[in-house]
Amino acid sequence: MKMLLSGNEAVARGAWEAGVTIATAYPGTPSTEILEVIGMLCKEDIYAEWSPNEKVAFEVAIGGSYAGARSLVCMKHVGLNVAADPYMTFAYTGVKGGFVVVSADDPSMHSSQNEQDNRYYAKFGIIPMLEPSDSQESKDLLIDAYDISEKFDTPVLFRMTTRISHSKGVVHMGDRTEHETDGFERNIQKYVMVPGHARMRRKVVLERLEKLKEFADTTPLNKIEEGKGGIGIITGGISYQYAKEIMPNASFLKLGMSYPLPEKKIKEFASSVDKLYVVEELEPFYEEQIKAMGIECDGKKYFTNYGELSPGAVSEGFVKAGVISERTQVSIPGEKLFPRPPVLCPGCPHRGAFTALKKLKVPVTGDIGCYTLAALQPMSVMDTCVCMGASIGNAIGIAKVGKDKGAVAAIGDSTFLHSGITGLLDAVYNKANIVVLLLDNRITAMTGGQHHPGTGQTLMGEETFQVDFVELSKALGVKDIHTVDAYDVDATKKTLKAALEYDGPSIVITNRPCALMPHKIKETAYTVLLDECIGCKLCFKIGCPAIAAADEKTEKGRPKAIIDPELCTGCTICAQICPVDCIVRVDSPAVEGARV
């Protein structure tokens, strides 16, 4: 049977066919769909969970491997930074059941804060790495990864990229192969990494690397495709597809297992061509190692390490290298869309909180989530954003060196549970004079509505314990705790102002759910009484997609506002800030006979 699958869907299928029995993750684009598919379609065979963060997800999967189960953990590239502590030491202990960590990199930063190339994590951790170049390989190589993991007693890094994760291709289905889980067996020299044991395991890791190098030279995962002429190209992942499209007649060394590199095979390939090029996305990971082997080649001289590659970018590189004469042009014109910045959704409760916060004119340290959009026009109320959980630590630092009450740290519920709890504990422990604005919308909204420990439901659809943020804050030692309706702008402003005046750490928790997930919220829409509108533009400044400029203008030439009733959710925020009360419900008596 064949199916059209995305790379992420194919990874999920590969996990099922490989006999995986435990899969864990924290959601993060472009990797999120892997666990969603497993949780939805494979739950009879695979236990799947959203963990509070990537480190916990990694550690849960390690436990599954120690108990003999084939285990999978998935995350986006920056998630591996969070999981780096267990990742580095797990390389020493090795596995019992096969273990694969999927890292989904995001070249061009479509939904990420940086563009790091996680292939370096393979070399850093001395862990073998596989890289698929399409959906079929996403399934097939994942199954191979488990065989490698168990054969060499090692975790395997499985690197996806955005294009592989989200592009679709035909995939041939296979059957599931069951692997018996025989339980945990005590072996402290292998699993307890005190210095004496770690020194012994370090030798094991280095000896394993030599065996993996021999394997890399013989495995069909690294294959030579002989072409015509004297041009040779070493490549892997999505870059293989681009290079193959532009240079179909060249010779290729396609790397499916890209760490450790197949040194003998590379030298053999290099000696068979007149000119060697390395085509790879982001950093010169292959190129640096190939040059260190004493092999002459060109790579980043012609192919950028800035953003994604594409057939056009690869052809441009070969034009610069003098290999081809013309750059490949995109043959399908793009759609012409009305330009607009990314904004919060209509009815988003974060809009009310930030509308109130903006009036207080204090530094706002931000975090990773939908609410990061508050940094952009027209809201322009967030001042920093570094990584998951950084908002609270950043606010503490500002408060410790500032003169007045410190910054407000704005953080979402999922991010707070991911890595904000320790920041709040630090604020209490070190008596930081800050306000934490916890934007609790009861879902991981930015990645598509995944559950977390604050939602009361698991990935597999079971009801479970739901974190109480007030009680959690009390347990951490916070004395000044507030809850507020984010749709009530004045109340939110007063609450934030009171928290800023409190001597010590405060937390303000908003309590409105996401307007879209898990259920779409749609109340009676609002409209604008055009004859009353004075064109003040205050409603434009909350950045609601339902509000637009009307063709009609005031005597001073200012555009009046109109509201799209299909988009309006009736959240009332625009009506609250209107200075002349010209924004009313569509069923208001004021609308009767009025121009709207």
pLDDT tens, position by position, 347-373: 999 999 999 999 898 999 999 999 999
CA distance 364 to 358: 9
**Burial, 442: exposed, middle or buried (Cβ in 10 Å; 0-12, 13-18, 19+)?**
buried
Q: Each residue of 3-44: pLDDT tens digit?
A: 999 999 999 999 999 999 999 999 999 999 999 999 999 999
| Cβ atoms within 10 Å, residue 595 | 11
Amino acid at 344: L
What per-residue confidence (pLDDT) applies to 341?
A: 75
CA 453 – CA 411 distance, rounded (Å) = 16
Tokens representing 471 are 């009680």
Q: What is the pLDDT of residues 64-75, one digit of tens each?
A: 999 999 999 999
The predicted-structure confidence for 172-214, as pLDDT tens digits, reads as follows 999 999 998 999 999 999 999 999 999 999 999 999 999 999 9
Provide the total of helices (H) and of strands (E) in the chain, helices listed first: 21, 22
Q: What is the pLDDT of residue 403?
A: 66
Share of the chain above pLDDT 70, in %: 98
Beta strands in 36-152 (DSSP E): 47-50, 71-76, 99-105, 129-130
Partnered with residue 223 across adjacent β-strands are: 254
Q: What is the full DSSP assignment across 29-40? A: TTTTHHHHHHHH
Instruction: Tell me what the mean pLDDT of segment 266-270 comes to.
Output: 98
The pLDDT mean for the chain works out to: 95
**pLDDT average, residue stretch 468-487:** 98
pLDDT digits (tens, 9 = 90+) for 380-389: 999 999 999 9
435-439 and 506-510 beta bridge pairing: parallel
Give the per-residue pLDDT at 337. Answer: 67
342 pLDDT more than 90: no
Q: What is the pLDDT of residues 579-588, one digit of tens each?
A: 999 999 999 9
Distance of CA 84 to the CA centre of its chain: 16
Q: Write down the pLDDT at residue 336.
A: 72
Number of other residues whose CB lies within 10 A of the CB of residue 318: 24
- Round to whole Å and give the CA distance between 215 and 256: 12
pLDDT above 90 for 476:
yes
- In sequence order, the 6+-apart residues with CB closer than 8 A to the CB of 436 are 392, 395, 408, 409, 411, 420, 424, 427, 505, 506, 507, 508
> What span, in angstroms and rounded, lies between the C-alpha atoms of 138 and 171?
9
Q: What is the pTM of this model?
A: 0.94
